[in-house]
């Protein structure tokens, strides 16, 4: 059975914001060329730079997810810095640097944060880190077809910012609004956000109009939001680099726009909280990283990571199911399975023999003719029962 785990993490609306004090575990950092006998090496490959709040939150979350087995491995944390440099020659330099830098380290796991790191690994993993499983997080609106057919051994957490839910929240709180001004940039993530809006805007054509503040200097954006009327709202998405090429931390761009805006100001990510947004359905970098770290632990313990083309069902045939959890004792699995009575899906328990781990008991729900049907059911059961489900292709 090949498992596919593409997860979505979101926060509750702004009207219920919880303050969390997160324990950052003490993690040893592996030095180049060194491997300690009996230890596993884990690489956290970050797209962006240290001090960038989203990346810091993901990294902290990943370390927390890895915390239960921190005595069994060493961690290398690497920053690609693609907010500062983003061009093909730069990525070629990184490839050469990593090939030399990590030639003395064999990694047992790679956690890739955000699109640029995962895209880099899709191109270079098999050369630089052969046979190393990859868990990604922070990949915006992940699509299985974006992964090359030959790229195996990966799974991850889909960064699915809930734009429609945020828009609905804004319009419910401000029923007189007729215009929404969307702040975004032209970076990789900004372009992805813009593409998402292309499918969303038509659904609101009878309610509001949209204006995108994207290919502009910061001064132009500030001037625009400072002149808006009472029938307007501003939605902050991603803005880190303006038309002139000036880089802004999220805290800087959000604060500047908030101070200039004459109208209510909302966001999609929790790194904007505290810098002027009123709220929104906020996606959490910490939760993204933590879920990826937890998945990495399970894979290091023997679970299979492969959300590749077989799981996607290239021929459209075969059946799928949802795996809800796995236990070393059958009695534990039976207790867990009873929680899903009344879910409308048949829940079953299957045994599997894992090398070095013995027999484990997997709790499954439903049998689906297509991956899409399984994904739809996954969303429903996760929302209703507050669990995380795998989409799994059933063996013939």
Question: What is d(CA 300, CA 387) in angstroms, rounded to the nearest whole number?
Answer: 22
Q: Please write the tens of the pLDDT for every residue from 125-184.
A: 999 999 999 999 998 888 888 888 888 899 888 777 788 889 999 999 999 999 999 999
Q: Are residues 147 and 181 in the same domain?
A: no
Residue 279 within a domain: no
Q: Is residue 278 part of a domain?
A: no
pLDDT at 344: 67
8 Å CB contact between 284 and 57: yes
User: What is the tens place of the pLDDT at every residue in 340-391?
Assistant: 776 667 788 888 777 667 788 888 888 777 667 777 777 777 767 767 777 7
Instruction: Name the residue with higher pLDDT: 239 or 339.
Output: 239
Label residue 349 exposed, middle or buried (CB < 10 Å: 0-12, 13-18, 19+): middle
Whether 144 and 118 have beta carbons less than 8 Å apart is answered as no
Last residue of a domain, one of 218, 246, 272: 272
**CB-based contacts of 37, cutoff 8 Å, min separation 6:** none
When pLDDT is cut at 50, 70 and 90, the band that residue 116 belongs to is: very high
Burial class (CB in 10 A: 0-12, 13-18, 19+), 338: exposed
> Do 32 and 49 share a domain, yes or no?
yes
Same structural domain for residues 111 and 239? no
Q: Are 57 and 271 in contact (CB under 8 A)?
A: yes
Outline where the chain has alpha helix (H).
53-66, 88-101, 114-128, 163-173, 188-200, 218-225, 250-260, 285-300, 309-312, 330-337, 371-385
- Note whether 45 and 187 are same-domain residues: no
**pLDDT at residue 306, as a whole number:** 60
At 192-230, the pLDDT tens digits run 888 889 889 998 989 999 999 998 999 999 999 999 999
pLDDT, mean over the chain: 82
The pLDDT, as a whole number, for residue 62 is 95
φ/ψ of residue 287, rounded to 5 = -65, -35
**Does residue 76 share a domain with residue 42?**
yes
How many domains in the chain?
3
Same domain, 192 and 242: yes
Domain presence at residue 232: yes
**Nearest residue to 236 via CA among 227, 245, 252:** 252
**In this structure, are residues 113 and 55 in contact, taking their beta carbons and an 8 Å threshold?**
yes
Of 249, 272, 295, which residue is a domain's last? 272
290 and 203 in one domain?
no
Task: Encode 214-248: b = buried (16+ Cβ within 10 Å), e = exposed.
Answer: bebebeebbebbeebeeebbbbbbbbbbbeeeeeb
Q: Which domain CATH number covers 71?
A: 3.40.50.2300
In this structure, what CATH number is given to the domain that contains residue 384? 3.30.70.1070
Whether residue 133 sits in one domain with residue 81: yes
Q: What is the pLDDT of residue 93?
A: 96
How distant, in Å, are the alpha carbons of 11, 50, 190, 318 from that of 241?
26, 17, 10, 45
User: Residue 73 pairs with which residues in a beta bridge?
Assistant: 40
Q: What is the DSSP letter of 328?
A: S
- Inter-residue contact 347 to 318 (CB < 8 Å): no
Range of the domain at 254: 163-272
Based on the domain organization, do 155 and 167 belong to the same domain? no
The answer to whether residues 154 and 301 belong to one domain is: yes
**Residue-level pLDDT at 319:** 67
The whole-number pLDDT of residue 40 equals: 83
| Domain limit, last residue, from 264, 293, 308 | 308
Structure-model confidence comparison of residues 387 and 289, the more confident one: 289
Domain co-membership, 155 together with 184: no
What are the residues facing 358 on neighbouring strands?
354
pLDDT at 278 exceeding the cut of 70: yes
Closest CA to 61 of 151, 159, 127: 159
């Amino acid at each position: 059975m090949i498992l596919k785990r593409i997860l979505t993490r979101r926060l509750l609306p702004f009207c219920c914001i919880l303050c969390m004090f997160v324990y950052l575990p003490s993690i040893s950092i592996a030095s180049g060329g060194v491997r300690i006998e009996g230890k596993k090496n884990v690489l956290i490959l970050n797209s962006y730079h240290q001090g960038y709040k989203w990346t810091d939150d993901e990294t902290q979350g990943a370390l927390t997810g890895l915390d239960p087995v921190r005595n069994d491995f060493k961690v290398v944390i690497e920053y690609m810095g693609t907010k500062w440099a983003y061009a093909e020659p730069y990525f070629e330099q990184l490839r050469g640097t990593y090939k030399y830098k990590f030639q003395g380290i064999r990694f047992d796991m790679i956690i890739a944060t955000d699109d640029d790191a995962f895209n880099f690994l899709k191109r270079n993993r098999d050369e630089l880190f052969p046979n190393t499983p990859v868990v990604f997080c922070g990949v915006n609106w992940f699509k299985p077809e974006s992964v090359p057919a030959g790229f195996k051994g990966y799974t991850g957490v889909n960064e699915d910012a809930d734009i429609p839910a945020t828009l609905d929240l804004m319009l419910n709180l401000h029923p007189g609004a007729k215009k929404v001004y969307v702040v975004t940039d032209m970076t990789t993530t900004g372009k992805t956000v813009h593409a998402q809006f292309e499918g969303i805007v038509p659904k609101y054509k009878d309610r509001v109009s949209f204006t995108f503040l994207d290919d502009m200097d910061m001064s132009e954006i500030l001037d625009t939001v400072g002149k808006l009327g009472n029938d307007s709202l501003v939605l902050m998405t991603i803005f880190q680099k303006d038309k002139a090429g000036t880089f802004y931390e999220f805290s800087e761009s959000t604060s500047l726009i908030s101070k200039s805006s004459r109208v209510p100001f909302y966001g999609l990510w929790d790194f904007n909280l505290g810098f002027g947004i009123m709220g929104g359905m906020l996606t959490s970098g910490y939760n993204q990283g933590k879920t990826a770290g937890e998945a990495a632990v399970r894979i290091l313990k023997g679970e299979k990571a492969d959300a590749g083309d077989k799981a996607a069902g290239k021929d459209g045939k075969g059946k799928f199911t949802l795996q809800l959890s796995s236990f070393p004792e059958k009695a534990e699995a039976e207790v867990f399975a009873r929680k899903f009575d009344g879910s409308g899906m048949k829940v079953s328990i299957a045994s599997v023999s894992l090398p070095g781990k013995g027999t484990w008991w997997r709790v499954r729900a439903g049998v689906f003719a297509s991956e899409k049907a399984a994904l739809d059911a996954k969303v429903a059961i996760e929302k209703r029962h507050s669990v995380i489900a795998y989409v799994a292709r059933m063996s013939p």
